[in-house]
């Protein structure tokens, strides 16, 4: 059984906490993230595996110049590297905590490293959607494959998904907007049902720094929700504004599970449940008399009032009662019934 479920499985959405580079090259910090995430109820921890010499050149420009200790972005990637043994330790720690271990490879060498230690599945970053040699390596493992789409239009996504189909991997196409942080107007939730229709399974890779898109995505059928996480909004790094805190992640998990419970228990509005019928009698209203009335009284509007409880004639019948005669005398505040009226 794969952890990546199809919409028809009615299984819980997979919630992925993306650490990415938030550890800032500190192995101890990376392990601290695992411990913190484990307490939130999330399903998976995802890192990014960068090997500077394999993916970049010293001339790579900064997306955002944030580091005071790295002269170049290449230097930054080098500082983000962990050894194979250190990656193995991170994977083992995730498994000890009951978390899926995921990491995005950004080069063939990074793929080989991760393949050697073992991952639960593969996440292809938005910039790798056209990198068929790397995608083929991932696909040939048979593991679940997540495709981020933040830099591609539908035609390019279609072409990649169609090319991947023969490999037969469990696949989810993730709506993603490559904006950090991503504003509400650019989240693109409309693409989740579109991706489900087009590709079978869809999810959301969110960079808003809030919990709201993830909650909304689940109501639209997302089977994967991925969010960046930070231990504190005071931490260093370019992704902090696009991340949720550990406490917010816990609320997101709680909210997604609550939402799934609601979605899996539809309420039938063609009938009234028993517990609601009891409340109905208490809170709804009936037609009552404003004053004592003698037998034979021809009812007029000023004779009648609408009050609780709802065990008598309902208010929508008020007009039909006007002009009818009482069969017998009734006191003030009497809940009228049809037995009180002449035919």
Q: Contact, 327 vs 339, CB < 8 A?
A: yes
pLDDT, residue 55, reads 85
DSSP letter for each residue of 7-27 = GGG-PPPEEEEEEETTTTT-H
Kindly report whether the peptide bond that precedes residue 309 is cis, defined as omega within 30 degrees of 0.
Answer: yes
CATH architecture for residues 11-263:
Alpha-Beta Barrel (3.20)
Q: Which two tokens stand for residue 335?
A: 């809940």
Cα–Cα distance measured from residue 65 to residue 214, given in angstroms and rounded to the nearest whole number: 29
Q: Which two tokens stand for residue 313?
A: 């004639």
- Considering the chain, tell me which residue range(s) the CATH 3.20.20.70 domain(s) occupy: 11-263
Q: Which two tokens stand for residue 178?
A: 């490559």
Q: Which two tokens stand for residue 196?
A: 């489900």
Residues 6+ apart with CB under 8 A from 262: none
pLDDT, residue 165, reads 96
Cα–Cα distance measured from residue 167 to residue 155, given in angstroms and rounded to the nearest whole number: 20
* Sole residue written with tokens 């679940």: 144
- Considering the chain, tell me which residue range(s) the CATH 3.90.1210.10 domain(s) occupy: 274-340
Q: Contact, 286 vs 318, CB < 8 A?
A: no
pLDDT, residue 73, reads 80
What's the Cα-to-Cα distance from 301 to each of 126, 295, 312, 326, 333, rounded to whole Å? Answer: 70, 17, 17, 14, 14
CATH code: domain 274-340 is 3.90.1210.10
Cα–Cα distance measured from residue 249 to residue 215, given in angstroms and rounded to the nearest whole number: 11
pLDDT, residue 277, reads 84
pLDDT, residue 106, reads 93
pLDDT tens readout for residues 183-242? 999 999 999 999 999 999 999 999 999 999 999 999 999 999 999 999 999 988 888 999
pLDDT, residue 9, reads 66
Q: Which residues pair with 203 in a beta bridge?
A: 174, 224
Q: Which two tokens stand for residue 271?
A: 């009938």
Write phi, then psi, for 173 (nearest 5 degrees): -100, 125
Strands (E), 165-262: 171-176, 202-206, 224-230, 243-245
pLDDT tens readout for residues 150-195? 999 999 999 999 999 999 999 999 999 999 999 999 999 999 999 9
Residues of the chain with pLDDT under 50: none
pTM: 0.88
Cα–Cα distance measured from residue 173 to residue 254, given in angstroms and rounded to the nearest whole number: 24
Write phi, then psi, for 14 (nearest 5 degrees): -85, 120
Running DSSP on this structure, what letter comes out for residue 150? T
């Amino acid at each position: 059984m794969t952890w990546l479920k199809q919409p028809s499985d009615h299984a819980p959405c997979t919630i992925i906490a993306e650490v990415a580079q938030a550890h800032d090259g500190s192995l101890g910090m990376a392990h601290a993230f695992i411990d913190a995430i484990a307490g939130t109820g999330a399903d998976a921890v995802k890192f990014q595996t960068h090997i500077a010499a394999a993916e970049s050149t010293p001339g790579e420009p900064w997306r955002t110049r944030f580091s005071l200790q790295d002269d170049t972005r290449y230097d930054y990637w080098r500082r983000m590297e962990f050894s194979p043994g250190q990656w193995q330790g991170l994977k083992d720690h995730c498994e000890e905590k009951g978390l899926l271990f995921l990491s995005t490879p950004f080069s063939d060498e990074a793929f080989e490293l991760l393949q050697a230690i073992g991952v639960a599945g593969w996440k292809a970053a938005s910039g790798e959607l056209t990198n068929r040699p790397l995608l083929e390596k991932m696909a040939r493992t048979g593991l679940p494959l997540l495709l981020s789409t933040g830099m591609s239009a539908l035609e390019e996504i279609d072409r990649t998904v169609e090319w991947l189909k023969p490999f037969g991997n469990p696949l989810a196409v993730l709506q993603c907007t490559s904006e950090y942080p991503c504003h509400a107007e650019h989240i693109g939730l409309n693409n989740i049902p579109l991706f489900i229709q087009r590709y079978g399974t869809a999810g959301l890779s969110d960079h808003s720094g809030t919990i709201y898109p993830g909650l909304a995505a689940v109501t639209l059928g997302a089977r994967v929700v991925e969010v960046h996480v930070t231990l504190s909004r005071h931490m260093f790094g370019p992704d902090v504004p696009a991340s949720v805190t550990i406490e917010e992640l816990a609320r997101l998990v709680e909210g997604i599970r609550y939402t799934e419970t609601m979605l899996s228990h539809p309420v039938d509005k063609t009938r009234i449940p028993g517990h609601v019928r009891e409340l109905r009698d208490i809170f709804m209203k009936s037609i009552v008399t404003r004053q004592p009335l003698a037998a034979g009284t021809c009812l007029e509007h000023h004779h009648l009032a609408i009050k609780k409880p709802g065990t008598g004639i309902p208010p929508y019948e008020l007009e039909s009662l006007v002009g009818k005669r009482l069969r017998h005398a009734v006191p003030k505040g009497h809940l009228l019934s049809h037995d009180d009226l002449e035919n």
